[in-house]
Structure 1
Amino acid sequence: MTDGSPYWNDLLKLRDPAWSEPTKAQQDKLTADVQRLAYRLGGEIWSRADEIADVPPRTRDAVIGYAPDRYLATLRALRAVKDAADAAATLIASEAGHRGAGYPQLGKAWDITRQAARLRWPGAVSVINEANNREPIHFEMYGGEARVSFHPEEGGWWWIATAANRKVQEAPADLTYDTSEEAAAAAGAFLAANTTDGE
């Protein structure tokens, strides 16, 4: 629900960049936090956990410090952390997509391409946020006309054009553009190259 205030309207616009890169100190802290979390979970799932529960502390510490399976249990816990992070990323990508972010932005946030983001999170981008001004664009030039439209399921812009010589062409099905300007430029190039039928 909006209240019409400029501040609220600003919140609905995608900000670019949407983040600043984590500093080394922030990354180091996150790594340490994840290691502590995995080490704790590894201790809970370790197959020897019950066996050494009543062992004297000094002996228990030695077993924990030297048993290779203790580290394997922690490694398995780290895999669980990765699975949890992937599940959380799927949820957050969907939330971002439903609030107006496209696959180019999702890919950039995950440090992958737009196409890889679409494959990783199919259906994450399913609605158009009205604040992002993604209305179709129609224009005429070189005696022909073109239409540029945003495809939310693809997370990018697409075009179709009819040239002066009556040839019709559209962007390939597997190609979308990050901006309407890029799609319009491609459509314009097609119109410019087909002003006559060559007779």
Structure 2
Amino acid sequence: MKNTINRALIGTATASIFLSASASAASSLMFNYSQQSGNNIGAPGDVGVEALVNVTGNAGTQTGSLDGVGYSMTHGDYWQQGFGGLGDPYIAVLENNVTIAFDSLDGWLLSNSATAYEVTVYYSGNPNNGGQAAYIGTPSSVSIGGNTETITVVTDGGGTERWSGLGATHTFSSDTLTITDTATAYQAGISAIRIVAVPEPSSAALLGLGGVSLMLRRRK
């Protein structure tokens, strides 16, 4: 009888632990700078994230929030061409000192039982736009939270029409984050940003194990 009760207690506590782990699963956000609706990503699952916002607008400042995380993108002219999907070669051109700012990341992390987040930036461009170089420029022109960015470029079949690029993954814990591109001419640009919360071990799971141990000692 004692063994039956003990197994039941362990089963209940184990279920509680798994529920706690599930509740603390990391969230992932994507901010897709699509310029116009024809460049929108259809659904978060299409790019492997849990939440997505398509930010449209040719120039100026676009603001909003996603899952409580505020965003602001300020730039000059911005346009896209040949968008087939994130990660596919296409053209995204930005001009005049791009600044992207995120805030309220602390609250978002807390809601996901996390203390840090990973940031990855996607780029797209065109090696030759009407005789003007339309490349991302030197790596030092882009800063991710103060870190110099590096990118890996994937071109289309001919290697002359358009390309996509994926930046390094950076880890931060700050409540705010700023991404800048100081290029002032037409430059290939930032096309999307992915932010993923890094999960922490669940304290609820540890409490659950402690509770099981205490109950078993009392039954004995």
Q: Could you state the TM-score of these two structures normalised by the residue count of structure 2?
A: 0.26
Higher relative contact order (CA 8 A, sep 6+): 2
Q: Which structure carries more helix by proportion? A: 1
Greater radius of gyration (CA): 1
More strand, by proportion: 2
Query: What TM-score results when the alignment is normalised by the length of structure 1?
Result: 0.28
